[in-house]
Structure 1
Amino acid sequence: MSENLTWHETSVGNEDYRRKNGHQSGVLWFTGLSGSGKSSIANQLNKVLYEKGIQSYLLDGDNVRHGLNADLGFSEEDREENIRRIGEVAKLFADSGTIVLTAFISPYQKDRDLVRASVQAGDFIEIHVDCPVEECETRDPKGLYKKARNGEIKGFTGIDAPYEAPPKPELVLDSKTHDVESCAEQVWKLLQKKNWV
């Protein structure tokens, strides 16, 4: 970082936005294997928040790779940079008074911990969308597991690359047993319990 950069304090801060919006802001970080249902659950919850008049925004892994992170591949280094950038964007949304939902495999705990550390204490909720790899492979909505098994994709999380499940997430969603709506409802109840909404 250049030594010529200086942080510029703004006259309107996140507490001002929160008062205006009438609710807390922060980061809901959905993590889990490909096919576990992260995007579907986050999308359903975002719809619920929107319908209740809550300022929210969804950042989805695939969608972000079409633009902001189009220059990144899937090496360990690129995955780290992918999550670092998303963490910075999520922090900006949270600072603007928005509840931002992120749906990313984000396989490494250290990367998720860095995002948590970058926001104010209490403004990060880690949600593990827990689904066995066998179930995810059965679903295989994008055909990626099949390609990974055929050797067409190398370093695929859950097959030949690791996934580090969160040891202490704020919430675990069993997406094999519970449907999308039920999982979204569980997150909504957690937000109520934590007085975010």
Structure 2
Amino acid sequence: METSYNDLVVPAATEIAGDSRASIKQQRQLVVWFTGMSGAGKSTLAGMLENELQARGVRTFLLDGDQLRLGLNNDLDFSDASRHESIRRAAEVARLMVDAGITVIASFISPFRADRDAARALFGRGQFFEVHVDAPFGVVEARDVKGLYKKAREGLLPKFTGIDSPYEPPIDPELRLNTAELTPQEALQRILLAMDALGVDAGEALAQRLYA
């Protein structure tokens, strides 16, 4: 039987655990995964959250779909198969960064529930914080300054999420935000409060330092 190269892959050993790296930085290992349709407000809230955490001395990194499309994912199209692969790669990058002790803020439409569940499975208990950024379809379409929904309706953007490709909402996210009812600042405060509640797993004092 022919040997697969994958059978020969052995990850490099390290005696430094991810939680040790995080403790040196005095923060917890965490990925905050924003999911929602285009125009819901994911990028706005992700940027606001990073600014807030950076101001509090938290080492962060922001990953978003457009950023990865220009580099790591520039060989992928917008077919279902490519979207699955795009989220798989994004989740693996986030996992490596979390292992390095960085708080990762990920903003991706990530329309398929199975892909988000697979991403969650890469992380330990309490390390994956899913935020569903939601708004009625009429609201997200009205916010579309790039005209993407209009182009999709005209057939110029096939397989566009919400038009001819589905978005599968999370069943039980850590947090759900209706941005048609909340201002960006109100939504940010809800994220911080929810992260504070989650933070007790990492120690009350540390959670208060980061998220209070």
TM range (shorter): over 0.9
Matched, 1:173 2:177: yes
Distance in 1, matches of 2:137 and 2:65, equals 19
Match of 1:42 among 22, 46, 49: 46
Distance in 2, matches of 1:6 and 1:83, equals 24
Distance in 2, matches of 1:182 and 1:12, equals 39
Match of 1:157 among 153, 157, 161: 161
- The CA deviation at 1:9 is 2.2
- The CA deviation at 1:162 is 0.4
1:82 match? 86
Q: Residues 45 and 185 of structure 1 are in contact (CA less than 8 Å); yes or no, is this contact kept in structure 2?
A: no
Distance in 1, matches of 2:66 and 2:11, equals 31
Distance in 1, matches of 2:6 and 2:126, equals 30
TM-score normalized by structure 1?
0.96
Match of 1:17 among 21, 29, 35: 21
- The CA deviation at 1:190 is 1.3
SS of 2:61 mapped into structure 1: strand
* CA offsets 1:89-127 (integer angstroms, 9 cap, x no match): 000111111110111000000000001001112210111
* CA offsets 1:20-74 (integer angstroms, 9 cap, x no match): 1112111111000001000110000000000000011110111110111111110
Structure 2, unaligned stretches of length 5 or more? 200-206
1:98 match? 102
Structure 1: 4+ residue segments shifted above 4 A: none
2:191 match? 187
SS of 1:24 mapped into structure 2: coil
Higher relative contact order (CA 8 A, sep 6+): 1
Q: Compare CA radii of gyration and give the structure with the larger one.
A: 2
RMSD (CA atoms)? 1.1
Distance in 1, matches of 2:127 and 2:177, equals 19
- The CA deviation at 1:141 is 2.3
Distance in 1, matches of 2:144 and 2:97, equals 31
Structure 1, unaligned stretches of length 5 or more? none
